[in-house]
Structures are given as structure tokens and as C-alpha cells.
Amino acid sequence: MRVGRLKAMAVKEMLQVWRDPRSLMIALLMPIMQMVLLGYGVNLDAKHVPVCTFDREGSQLSEALLKRFQASAYFAIVDVVDTYRAVTADLDRGDCRIAIVVPPDFSERLSDSGSSSVQAIIDGTDDNTANLALGYAQAVVSGFSSDVQIRFSASQGQWMPRPPPLSIDARVWFNEDLESRNFIIPGVVAMVMALVGSQLTSLTISRDWERGTMELLVSTPVTPMEVMLGKLLPYFVIGFLDAALCLAFAVFWFEVPFRGTILTLFVTTALFLVVVLCIGYLISVMIRSQLGASQIALLVTMLPTALLSGYTFPIDQMPAPIRAITYLVHARYYVTILKSVFLKGLGVFDLAGPVLAMVIYAAVVAVFASRAFRKRLD
Amino acid sequence: MFTRIIQVLLKELIELRRDKWAHFRLLIPPIIQILVFGYAATFEVFGVSTVMLDLDHTQESRDLISRFTYSGRFEVVRIAHDLREIDNAIDRSDATVAIVVHPGFANLLRKGQTAPVQVIVDGTNSNTALIALGYVNQIAATFSQDYASDLLQRTRAGPTARVVQVTLEQRPWYNPDLNSRWFFVPGVIATLLLVITVNLSSFAIVREREVGTLEQIMVTPIRPIEFILGKTVPFFLIGVGEVVLVTAVGTLWFGVPFVGNPLVLLLGTSLFLLSTLALGLLISTLCSTQQQAFATNFFVLNPFFILSGFAFPIASMPVALQWFTYANPLRYYLVIIRATFLKGVGLAVLWPDLLALSALGVGILAVSVLRFRKSLD
């Protein structure tokens, strides 16, 4: 390997990117667009869930309960109805997600038997929002219930109201405000890097084939190793800039807490870049048209990264065969690392498992990529 | 006019039949996608890895812990012996939830005071954490109720010591088990349809332009509108075919119910295809090579996909992005397809979405036909 030839190759590739508006657009515009789009668009929190209420009793007690729903930031009462039909219509049209129905004998049953219930009819179509909303509704009703108990005890002349037997003292670690943005955005960085990295290099060799410059390349004394390194180096630099841009976006714009060290972040990002750039290069060598190569690159990165990396869908909830497949998804390791570095502040040594997996991954793809290119025209 | 459309249509079908890759491209990716989505895309929370620490060792504490174990929502991966072990387990992600019962738990309960239970949750995945906390609260609430009424029975206290409580009765409609699959399978059909038909129509026209056959066609007596119709009708049929294929996999393999009227879905699908095919045509007028069309498709489809309510609720997006979703055909089609699959509602409920889809479709089509005419000059 000669440094001079390597340098010439790298400079040529850099110029080519610089003068080709389309690859420049992929390199610079795509990361920003993806960060903004995914950063704002991808959100799993449920706030202001639309509620309709159907108070069949109309007593002071039932009104007090419904007022609590009104006061909660998680719910927004959009409709007050007086027939079951209207409840059904609201849910059918999707105007409300949850309907709170107070039965006509609500207060009566409470004073007779000491226990009464309200109905929460929920639109289960979006199961996640439904689950979250049910949790919030449960909390509202529990709060109301203990209030009622205290007032009841007081009215019975017990000056020391009976406290509830059990209380949950919950502490949330790492993502204290339970904001979905805080765990999704580090994943978005991985997603963007996987997409952009392999898109960029998928065009490298296929471009030479398509434009006929492959014959020129083959006739020079450059070795396959020099071709690979020379072609990948400029993209490594671009990829690194992209990564820095995305990470800065995550920390300063979206204000995701960053608790780890920059060094850990840079080392692991460099490793991941090697993986994605080599995959793109490998595809580029195998598929000789630019269109085909970029399509294949999109196909093999988009779906696995979006679904199987743990970036939004938790891996431990998947069935065992799918979980086994996720070990083959490169982004799985990087997503784990990014989330841990951002939220938990873990270092390279705490993350030995995923880091080692990425080293092995990078080594394997690099070996394949370096073997794939042969100086032949057939 | 009619025969000329048929001619283009036949030409397109023959091209498609001779393209061996097309068969593969149209059949295999949709099936793979529906399978991966069906199995992997889930926000449900079962068997959360949990570490337990019981420092009280009483009947009460064991009762509480067994309630967690048998709920099916928590899976005890380790019984810890001290608090340090708990910290480690959460730090290293061995467990998502830790439950600590401190000494004196049963004593407090017996004295009629409130006994605290400490719960530590790894909030990294806020969604899982929130849902898991919901289950913790539910278990705690039932434990409280049971303990209180138990105590009442044992002590046979008078009415003054009565426990008064209000409970929440949960009735999920349309998806009674809150199964993520039921939510995602119809959504996947919609997104697949968007991607496949926009790609097909934009590529088909750009290819003719790139290869130079577009000029040849334009010197024949065919009119632009006839050409467009002949080009897109096969893709319309393919689109409907894809819906049938993926619906079959979703209902037969994954057991997702289809309670609505298939004709309503067909109407919605047709209107949606009008938008997507017109969009493909519009993109084709902006690009001169297939490579450009590929990049443009990505830049256009990605926002449509994310800002549609496919996986992430529109109501939680910033207001500016919510406005954008109104111009997104996928948004309306998702409402229609989910409603016909799960809710079984008809035109009486879905007319606003169908109307919006038609308006969008006609609008995009008008712009793209105008642009297409111009691009020929």
C-alpha cells in the first residue's frame, strides 16, 4: 500500500462528492431533515387524550369525579353527552379516545355497600395510547377514591382518617421525567447514521461501473485495498461530521440529557461508521448500477434499523426467533450504546458487551468488503 | 380514445410480465414486511424483567411479591439480598423494575398505618416504564383493597370502620386485549401501498423518459391523459391486489379481525390510490433519471410515513407538524383502514376522511397532469 496513491484516490473521491449536488444533498440535508422529522414526529407520550363524559347520575359526587378528569393534564374533555348512543358515536368517529361513564346508582351504591365503580370505555385501536390512558385514568380514580374515604371517615366522626394500607414509592431512574423523546432521539441518531452511511458508499464503486471509469481504475497501479480505503476515507470524514451534527442536535436542540463522556461517544460512533460504510461499499461492489445499489442499501438498512434495533420497539418484547435475528442487526448494538451513554452515562468498559459485538461486526464486514473488489472487468 | 388507453395498458402489463424481478419485488417484500411488523412491532408490556428484594420476610410481604410474580406482567429474574444488588441490576439493565419491601412492612400494615413499598424503574424506555408503573399501581391497589376488606372481616368492625372505595372498570372496545398487532397490521397495509404505488408510477414514467421512449410515444396520436391512464391503471390493479394479499396474511396468519364492509375499504383504497399514483406522476415530472426519482421518493415518502399516525399519535406532535398531517393522504387512509378492520364503521362515520382523500387526490392529479403536459414541451 502506498500513501501517495491512497491520498490521490481519497482526494478524487472528495472532489467527486463536492461537485455532485445529489450526493452532497444526501450527505448534509438528509441527516438534518431526518433529525427534525423524527425528533419532532416520533413521540409516544399520551397527553391531552380526548375524553367524553356521560354522567348518568348528575350528583355532587359524580361531578367531583369528572372534575378531576378535567383538571388532569393527561385528559381533555371534548364532549359531554347524555346517551349511550352518543358515546358510541364519539368513539366510532374517533372524536374521543376514552369515555367515562358514571352509573346512575353511583352515590347510592357507595353509601349502601361502600364500593362503587365508574366505567372507562376506551378505544383500543391504538393499544399503546389506550394502555397509557388507562394508567392515568386509574390514577385519577384512585386519588378520588382515597379522598372519598377520608371524607367518609371524617363524617363518621373519626378524626384520624384511615390511611390506605399500601403506598407505592416509585422512583424512576435515567429518564426521570419519562419523556419518550429522551430515549427515541439517541435511537434516531443511529437510524440516520445507518441510512446516510450506507447510502453514501453504495454509490462509490457502482458509479465507476456506470460511468465507465472502472476501466480507467483497473488500468492504474492502485491496489484493491487502496481503492477501498481511498474511497471510504472521505465518507468517514463526512459521516463523522454528520454524526457530530446529529449528536449536537440531540443535546442542544432537543435537550436530551447527556451523561456520558464525549470520548465514549466518539469511539463507538467511529466503530459504527466503519460498519455502515463497509456495508454500503460491499453492496456497491456487488451491484453494478447506482440505482440498484442505493435501493438495496435502503432495503437492508431501513426496515431492520427501524424495527429490530430496539430504537422504538423494545427487543425483549419480541418473540424468541425475532429476538435472535436482532443480534444480526448492526444498529442494535449502537442503539444500546447510545441510549446508555446519553441517559445512563456508562463508559466503554461498562458497555464491553455491545462494544465488543460492534468490533467483531466491523472486522467481519471490513474483511468481506476488502475481499469483494477485484481488479477485473468481467 | 378507449383503444389507445388499452394499448398502453397492454404494453405496460407485458413489460411487467417480462420483468422477472417485478414478480419478486411485488410479492416478497410486502410479505416479509407484514411478518416482521406483525412479530416485532409491539408496544405491549409483558414479563418485565424484575428484581425483588424482600427485607421483611413476613406472610404479608410474600403475599405482595407473589402477586407480582403471578400477574404475568412481571418476570422475576433475580431475588436480591441487599440494596446494592438492586442498584447493580438496574444499572446493568439486567432488570427494568426493582421492588423493595423494607423491614417493618407487615408491622405497619398490622398497626393500620400506611406501609410503603419502594419501586425503582429504569425509565430509559419511558413507554415501557410508564406502562409497567401502571401495572405496579394496579397490583398495589388490589392488594390494598383485599387487605382492607380482609382486616374488616377479621375484626368485624362496625359500620364506622368501613372501607369506602371507588374503582375503575376498564372496557377496551374494538381491540379488547389491547393487542399491538391489531393496531399495526392494517397500518402496514396502508404504508406498503403508499411506498409500492408511488415507486411504481414514478419509476415507470421516468424510465421512459430516461431511455428516450417517452418521445416516441408522444409522437403517436395518443393524448397525455390517455397515456397517463394507460400507465397508471395497471398499478391501480396491482395496488388493490397488494391490499388483498396483505389483508389475507394479516387476517389468516395473525388473526386480526376484519369486521367492516370490504366495499368501504375498496372505496377508500381507490381514493387513496388516486392520490398515490398522482403523486408518483408528479414526482416523475420533477426527475429526469430513475436515480433522481429514487432520492425524491425517499425525501417525499419519509415525512408522509412518519407524520401519518402510523405508529406515533398525531395528537402528541407539535402543532405545526399536526397541520402538515392534514395534507397527508396516508393520514386519512389509516383512519379508514383501521376503522374498517377494527371498528366496523361505514360511510356514515368515514365520509369526512373519504372526502378529504378525494380532494387531495384530485388536487395532486390536477397539478401533476399540468406539470406533465409542460414537461413534454
Compute the distance between CA of residue A42 and CA of residue B127 in angstroms, rounded to an integer: 12
Task: Choose, out of A75, A113, A152, A168, the residue to mutate when testing the contact with B (most B CBs < 10 Å).
Answer: A168
Q: Are residues B111 and B82 located together in one domain of the fold?
A: yes
Q: What integer best gives the mean pLDDT of chain B?
A: 86
Q: Are residues B253 and B345 located together in one domain of the fold?
A: yes
- Boundary-marking domain end, from B132, B161, B190: B161
Interior/surface letters B88-113, b for 16+ CB within 10 angstroms, e for the rest? ebbbebebbbbbbbbeebbebbeeee
Amino acid residing at B145: Q
Tell whether B170 is covered by a domain: no
**Choices 2.40.30.10, 3.40.640.10, 3.40.50.11540, 3.40.1710.10: CATH for A49-155:** 3.40.1710.10
Nearest to B317 among A43, A142, A313 (CB): A43
Q: Which range, A310-324, B34-48, B193-207, B351-365, has the best average confidence (pLDDT)?
A: B351-365
Tell whether B155 is covered by a domain: yes
| Mean pLDDT, residues B175-201 | 89
Q: Are residues B115 and B243 located together in one domain of the fold?
A: no
**Cα dihedral value B218, B224, B227, B229, nearest 10:** 180
- Local structure of A378: helix, strand or coil: coil
Q: Are residues B34 and B106 located together in one domain of the fold?
A: no
Tell whether B171 is covered by a domain: no
Contact A138 B49 (CB under 8 A): no
Each residue's pLDDT, cut to its tens digit, for chain A (378 residues) gives: 778 888 888 888 888 888 877 777 778 888 888 888 888 888 888 888 899 999 998 898 899 999 999 998 889 999 999 999 999 989 888 889 899 999 998 988 888 877 888 999 998 888 888 888 988 898 888 888 888 877 777 777 654 455 667 777 777 888 888 888 888 889 889 988 998 888 888 888 888 888 888 888 888 888 888 888 888 998 999 999 999 999 998 999 988 899 888 999 999 999 999 999 999 999 998 888 888 888 888 888 888 888 898 888 888 888 888 889 999 999 999 999 998 899 888 888 888 889 999 999 999 999 998 888 887 776
Q: Are residues B59 and B138 located together in one domain of the fold?
A: yes
Nearest 5 degrees, angle CA A204-CA A207-CA A213?
110
Q: Are residues B257 and B355 located together in one domain of the fold?
A: yes
- Boundary-marking domain end, from B108, B130, B161: B161
The DSSP output letter for A83 is S
Q: What is the number of structural domains in chain B?
A: 2
| Mean pLDDT, residues B180-188 | 90
Q: Are residues B283 and B307 located together in one domain of the fold?
A: yes
Q: Are residues B224 and B266 located together in one domain of the fold?
A: yes
Contact B124 A339 (CB under 8 A): yes
Tell whether B172 is covered by a domain: no
Cβ atoms < 10 Å from Cβ of B314: 19
- Boundary-marking domain end, from B126, B161, B196: B161
Residue B161's pLDDT band (cuts 50, 70, 90): low
Size of interface A-B (CB pairs under 8 A): 306
Cell of B344: 366496523
* CA–CA min distance A108, chain B (Å): 12
* CA–CA min distance B4, chain A (Å): 32
**For chain B, where are the alpha helices, taking DSSP H only?**
2-18, 20-40, 59-69, 83-91, 105-110, 126-155, 180-211, 213-218, 224-248, 262-286, 290-306, 319-325, 329-338, 347-376
* CA–CA min distance A4, chain B (Å): 33
Q: Are residues B137 and B195 located together in one domain of the fold?
A: no
Q: Which helix (H) or strand (E) holds A37?
A: helix A30-41
Compute the distance between CA of residue A115 and CA of residue A107 in angstroms, rounded to an integer: 9
Cell of A341: 451513554
Quick one: residue B156, left, alpha or beta (phi over 0 = left, psi -120 to 50 = alpha)? left
Task: Choose, out of B173, B328, B337, the residue to mutate when testing the contact with A (most A CBs < 10 Å).
Answer: B173
Compute the distance between CA of residue B300 and CA of residue B284 in angstroms, rounded to an integer: 12
Cα atoms in the Cβ-side hemisphere of radius 13 Å centred on B142: 14
Q: Are residues B218 and B337 located together in one domain of the fold?
A: yes
Q: Is B251 exposed, middle or buried (0-12, 13-18, 19+ CB in 10 A)?
A: middle
Q: Are residues B252 and B364 located together in one domain of the fold?
A: yes
Cell of B230: 394507460
Q: Which range, B75-84, B224-233, B262-271, B290-299, has the best average confidence (pLDDT)?
A: B262-271
| Mean pLDDT, residues B14-21 | 77
Contact B164 A49 (CB under 8 A): no
Strand partners for B24: none
Nearest to B160 among A41, A156, A308 (CB): A156
Q: Which residues on chain B are in Cβ contact (under 8 Å) with A130?
A: 172, 175, 178
Tell whether B151 is covered by a domain: yes
Where are chain A's structural domains? 3-43+179-372, 49-155
Cβ atoms of B4 and B221 within 8 Å: the answer is yes
Nearest to A204 by CA among A293, A104, A313, A99: A293
Tell whether B215 is covered by a domain: yes
Tell whether B166 is covered by a domain: no
φ and ψ of B307, to 5 deg: -95, 50
Contact A174 B307 (CB under 8 A): no
Q: Which domain holds residue B121?
A: 48-161
Q: Which residues on chain A are in Cβ contact (under 8 Å) with B65?
A: none
Least reliable range by pLDDT among A12-21, A188-197, B230-239, B269-278: A12-21
| Mean pLDDT, residues B280-286 | 90
Cβ atoms of A73 and A113 within 8 Å: the answer is no
Compute the distance between CA of residue B145 and CA of residue B317 in angstroms, rounded to an integer: 38
Nearest to A127 among B36, B125, B179 (CB): B179
> pTM for the full model?
0.86
Q: Are residues B59 and B99 located together in one domain of the fold?
A: yes
Nearest to B268 by CA among B365, B360, B354, B359: B354
